[in-house]
């Protein structure tokens, strides 16, 4: 996979945003070599509505990764879609959206993987640009930390630790390889806690959340009638989020990522810390 990829044709899906609750239609279109991933708000006509999927465009990271451009046009909860792009090796794509937030769908990346496969992958002529990590870069916040270190390929190690017996301490190691994301990660759903619901609603968040798109935890119990798809679905979803967040580097990463209780904010800070130190990386 040393050549850039786009998609072969246009494809669409629709759904509501997990936080806004507002419906939106996502249409993906092929993009030229070197274009990267670009979100376009088709419902905004009076300003520049293009938002490049880059770490510098991230404006908020509470409950998701959200981006804005210089004109103040935003797009929310991008991480599940970007994880699918990363996992399938899609470098260049136009993602048109007629609402403020990407659809949550089933709470995983699987519908986005299916959408991209429906559109077909198209290899391009230009070589793929890789972000090679040259020395360790780490960000800490209390007991939480994230780190990128030199390594071959793209390997991730993620640990989460929650006091509820429904989750507990979980760890996963993953190497990005053809087919691995769709097989091992894409289907893992997002999760939330009943005790947080009132606070989220008061903030105008979680308005589109339901057991159709979220694993719901109350105390030590999982409330979803179907339960989990795997005992470690929680940490697999956290890994999914990491993959989506790191795709905002602007190209695939060659290195080792380690995260202890990672989150969107720490992942964003980590990429910014890498780019702030020119001796820590090289584009190859």
* Per-residue pLDDT of the chain in tens (284 residues, 90 and over written 9): 589 999 999 999 999 999 999 999 999 999 999 999 999 999 999 999 999 999 999 999 988 999 999 999 999 999 999 999 999 999 999 999 999 999 999 999 999 999 999 999 999 999 999 999 999 999 999 999 999 999 999 999 999 999 999 999 999 999 999 999 999 999 999 999 998 887 888 888 888 999 999 999 999 999 999 999 999 999 999 999 999 999 999 999 999 999 999 999 999 999 999 999 999 999 99
Give one word for 260, left, alpha or beta, with left for phi > 0 and alpha for psi -120 to 50: beta
- Total Cβ atoms within 10 A of residue 283: 10
SS3 assignment, position 82: helix
**Given 19, 80, 237, 264, the catalytic residue:** 264
Using an 8 Å Cβ cutoff, are 134 and 282 in contact? yes
**Going from the N-terminus, what domains does the chain have, and what CATH number goes with each?**
3-127 (3.30.230.20), 131-283 (3.30.1700.10)
Task: Verify whether residue 264 is a known catalytic residue.
Answer: yes
């Amino acid at each position: 996979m040393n050549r850039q990829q786009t998609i072969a044709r246009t494809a669409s899906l629709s759904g509501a945003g997990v936080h806004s609750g507002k419906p939106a239609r996502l249409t993906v279109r092929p993009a030229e070599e070197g274009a990267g991933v670009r979100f376009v708000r088709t419902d905004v006509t009076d300003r520049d509505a293009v938002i490049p999927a880059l770490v510098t465009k991230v404006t908020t990271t509470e409950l998701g990764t959200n981006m804005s451009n210089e004109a103040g046009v935003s797009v929310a909860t991008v991480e599940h879609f970007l994880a699918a792009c990363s996992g399938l090796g899609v470098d260049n794509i136009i993602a048109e959206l007629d609402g403020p937030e990407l659809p949550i769908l089933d709470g995983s990346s699987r519908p986005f993987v299916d959408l991209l496969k429906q559109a077909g992958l198209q290899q391009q002529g230009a070589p793929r640009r890789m972000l090679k990590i040259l020395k360790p870069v780490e960000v800490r916040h209390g007991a939480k930390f994230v780190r990128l270190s030199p390594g071959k390929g793209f390997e991730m190690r993620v640990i989460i630790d929650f006091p509820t017996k429904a989750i507990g301490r979980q760890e996963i190691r993953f190497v990005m390889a053809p087919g691995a994301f769709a097989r091992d990660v894409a289907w893992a759903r997002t999760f939330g806690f009943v005790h947080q619901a009132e606070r989220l609603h008061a903030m105008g968040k979680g308005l589109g959340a339901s057991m159709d798109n979220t694993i719901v935890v109350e105390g030590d119990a999982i409330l979803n009638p179907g339960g989990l798809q795997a005992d470690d679905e929680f940490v697999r979803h956290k890994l999914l989020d990491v993959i989506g967040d790191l795709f905002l580097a602007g190209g695939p990463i060659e290195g080792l990522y380690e995260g202890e209780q990672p989150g969107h904010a720490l992942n964003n800070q980590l990429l910014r810390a890498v780019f702030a130190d020119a001796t820590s990386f090289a584009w190859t």
